Amino acid sequence: VVQGAFATLPEEPPIPEDNAMTPEKVELGKMLYFDPRLSSSGVISCHTCHNLSLGGTDRLPSSLGHEFLTGGRNAPTVLNAAFFNLQFWDGRATGLEEQAQGPIQAGVEMAMPADMAVNRIASIEGYLPYFEAAFPDEETPITFENIAKAIATFERTLITPNDALDRYLRGDEEALSDDAKRGMEIVVQVGCIACHNGPMLSTGTLMPFRHGEDLGLATVTGEESDEFMFRVATWRNVSLTAPYFHDGSAETLEDAIRIMGSVQLNRDLTEDEVYYIVAFLESLEGEVPEITIPDLPAD
Amino acid sequence: VVQGAFATLPEEPPIPEDNAMTPEKVELGKMLYFDPRLSSSGVISCHTCHNLSLGGTDRLPSSLGHEFLTGGRNAPTVLNAAFFNLQFWDGRATGLEEQAQGPIQAGVEMAMPADMAVNRIASIEGYLPYFEAAFPDEETPITFENIAKAIATFERTLITPNDALDRYLRGDEEALSDDAKRGMEIVVQVGCIACHNGPMLSTGTLMPFRHGEDLGLATVTGEESDEFMFRVATWRNVSLTAPYFHDGSAETLEDAIRIMGSVQLNRDLTEDEVYYIVAFLESLEGEVPEITIPDLPAD
Ligand code: HEC
Ligand code: HEC
Ligand code: HEC
Ligand code: HEC
Ligand SMILES: [Ca+2]
Ligand SMILES: [Ca+2]
Ligand SMILES: [Ca+2]
Ligand SMILES: [Mg+2]
Task: Supply the pLDDT for residue A225.
Answer: 95
What CATH code would you report for A164-282? 1.10.760.10
Task: Supply the pLDDT for residue A106.
Answer: 86
Q: Is the pLDDT of residue B116 over 90?
A: yes
Q: Is the pLDDT of residue B113 over 70?
A: yes
> pLDDT per residue over B203-224, tens digit each?
999 999 999 999 999 999 999 9
CA pseudo-torsion sign A278, A279, A281, A287: positive
Nearest chain A residue to B66 by CA distance is: A68
Task: Supply the pLDDT for residue A3.
Answer: 59
| DSSP structure string for A73-119 | ------TTGGG-SEESTT--EEHHHHHHHHHHH-TTTT---HHHHHH
Task: Supply the pLDDT for residue A2.
Answer: 55
Task: Supply the pLDDT for residue B70.
Answer: 85
Contact A70, A58 (CB under 8 A): no
Domain A23-155 class, CATH top level? mainly alpha
Interface touch A42/B59, C-beta < 8 Å: yes
- For residue B298, the distance in angstroms to the closest alpha carbon of chain A comes to 6
Q: Is the pLDDT of residue A299 over 90?
A: no
> pLDDT per residue over A84-113, tens digit each?
999 999 999 999 999 999 899 988 889 899
Task: Supply the pLDDT for residue B69.
Answer: 86
Nearest chain A residue to B64 by CA distance is: A43
Q: Does any CB of chain A come closer than 8 Å to the CB of residue B48?
A: yes
Which residues are B87's β-sheet partners?
B93
Task: Supply the pLDDT for residue B10.
Answer: 95
Q: Is the pLDDT of residue A232 over 60?
A: yes
Chain A environment of B298 (Cβ under 8 Å): 54-55, 59, 239-240, 242
Whether A164-282 and A23-155 are alike in CATH topology: the answer is yes
Contact B44, B109 (CB under 8 A): yes
* Mean pLDDT, range A150-166, rounded to an integer: 98
What mean pLDDT is reported for chain A?
95
> pLDDT per residue over B147-186, tens digit each?
999 999 999 999 999 999 999 999 999 999 999 999 999 9
Largest CA distance in chain B: 62
Query: Where is average pLDDT lowest: A235-239, B48-52, B98-102?
Result: B98-102
- Confidence bin at B2 (pLDDT 50/70/90): low
* Mean pLDDT, range B244-250, rounded to an integer: 97
Query: Where is average pLDDT lowest: A102-116, A197-211, B7-21, B123-137?
Result: A102-116
Task: Supply the pLDDT for residue B66.
Answer: 86
Contact A237, A54 (CB under 8 A): no
How do the domains of chain B map onto residue ranges?
23-155, 164-282
What mean pLDDT is reported for chain B?
95
Which residues are A100's β-sheet partners?
none
